[in-house]
Amino acid sequence: MKRFFLSLISLLVLNISIAQIPALERVEPMFWWTGMVNPHLQLLVHGDKIADYKVQLKYKGVTLQKVNKVENPNYLFLDLLIDKNTRPGSFDIVFSARGKKDLHYNYQLKQQDKSPNRIQGVTNKDFVYLIMPDRFSNGDPTNDRVAGMKDQSLNVDSMYDRHGGDLQGVINHLSYLKDLGVTAIWCTPMIENDMTHASYHGYAATDLYKIDPRFGTNELYKTYVEKCHALGLKVIKDVVHNHIGSEGWIMKDLPMKSWVHQWPKYTNTNYRDQPLMDPHASQADVKSQLDGWFVPTMPDLNENNPYVENYLTQNHIWWIEYAGIDGLRLDTYPYNDPTFMANWAKALKAQFPHLSIFGETLVTSVPEQAFFTEGNTVNRGFDTNLPGVTDATMKDAMYEALNGKDGWVDGVNRLYATLAQDFLYKDPSKNLVFLDNHDMSRFYSMVGENFDKYKEGLGILLTMRGIPEMYYGTEILMKNFDAPDGLVREDFPGGWSKDSANKFVAKGRTAKENEAFNYVKTLANFRKNSTALETGKLMQYVPEDGVYVYFRYNENQTVMVVVNSNKTSKILKTERFSERINSFTNAENIITHEKIADLHTVSVPAHSTTILELKK
């Protein structure tokens, strides 16, 4: 009975909200650009019984091809054709109905920003830093609470309430990241999440065209990208195709029932990626995977609906062109409709050839990961057009190398075997390599707060093929496990005015924290100037006695990496690496700057990654 009354209350609230829709509530995209690769544009128009209106527009080079009416009379979808020679300018879209006052929307067509290197792409030359804006720094306390928004929580002592971190807080610390050696910033979504609870994380969007006002504004986001570019930092936007927030404006007044996947009763996704690739899979499992809701508060978008497909694709193109974003991280990639995602990626690549995209695929094997990447047309029957993924199998292999016991397929042998399967990818250098993120236990805790293992793991991360990514605070030894209290999303100390210590500066850090920071800084900044580590080839050797050796090299530079997973130091004889050592006679340790005069033997400490630049 209680559930019935709650449902009735929800229905009444929904009807009230629908009754209060203005005659012309919104047009999306709000504006567009001339000269885009795809001349077709579909506008979503929302307003009270807007389907009763006739639509007219007049602008040279713009043709209103079709007015689409759908199930809900509060929507129209307008198909426009924009000629390639159309000039920037504005025009009125006029909505007329007998007995009603005409409605006008002044639509702008802007000039594309064709500045060179504006949208650069994120590549294996980069080092990515992942930030949860709500937990990084509170740069503008005036937006901590915004009147009218559902979640008015503000409690830094609760992991499930908002803490007040924002876009200005990230901007305030760009020089810190630049000094650390970071070259690209990935923030979890900053799109509006006007949800009743836990709205801080950003993955339950309620307005896809609006930065959450508790983070800032659209204009500030564009300024953030510009400031990053001025400092030589790239920007990655986190986007979610699969689902939206249940309390968003569009869920209160769906254009049509098929905008989201509908079930006779609530059905969760099975959270499995295997049904898509399993030759023995049932169609029921495939449907559950793709059409089930991620959680009850995140409705699953129906990407087979052509209106949804246009809406999402245009939204992402809009943000990239508007702000000049360099790359996209695609949340929950395996749960999306595969054909839609392939078409989406193709459309974005056509418009932005240098844009980088990588999909989140938290899977357990290399074949599962490679299945989702581009070039696997034999397995899929089509090309996914997805250049890279978040390399979860490499993460697991690195942890096995750090924490496992040496064995035929264990310890560092797992890392070796994982890399040996790179033949399954079209280009493994486009994978994002990481040790942790906002959804899992922090790296320092996962290695038992063992500082030697900490440096060992980061040494592997920053010399490995692919694009290295580090979660905020790893450089100052932030720790904790994901369960049960979510402390992996603690605030960065110093990001709030009342913090007892400011770890953005050396004097606020402990001696060990400074040692960790300087280790990351030294390695990251060396990498920025190392063509071998950025884009060089990788050659690895079969591990022996718990010691794993690989080389990153090109015609100008060779870097030798020795991973000793043992609890004791080792003296490594290098004769069997002569194929790569070749005519090199000495080396320099890039961390300690120690000179190695004789390369016939190399001394490697216990639980260490020794990184040597070879010299003649």
Active-site positions read: 331, 360
Strands 207-211, 191-192: pairing is antiparallel
CB atoms within 10 A of CB 219: 11
Report the alpha-carbon distance of residue 21 to residue 26 in Å, rounded. Answer: 10
- Residue 328 structure tokens: 């996209």
Contact 221, 163 (CB under 8 A): no
Sheet holding 128-131, edge to edge: 388-389, 356-359, 327-330, 234-239, 184-187, 128-131, 467-471, 432-434
- Residue 527 structure tokens: 């990498």
CA 351 to chain centroid, in Å, comes to 20
Coil, strand or helix: which one is 390? strand
Coil, strand or helix: which one is 538? strand
Report the alpha-carbon distance of residue 284 to residue 291 in Å, rounded. Answer: 10
CA 450 to chain centroid, in Å, comes to 29
Report the alpha-carbon distance of residue 167 to residue 577 in Å, rounded. Answer: 49
Residue 107 makes CB contacts below 8 A (sequence gap 6+) with 27, 31, 32, 43, 57, 90, 91, 92, 93
- Note every long-range contact of 23-26, with CB atoms under 8 Å and residues 24 or more positions apart, other chains counting: 23/47, 23/48, 23/50, 23/100, 23/103, 24/50, 24/95, 24/103, 24/105
Contact 460, 559 (CB under 8 A): no
CB atoms within 10 A of CB 423: 8
User: What number of CA atoms fall less than 13 Å from residue 78's CA on the CB side?
Assistant: 27
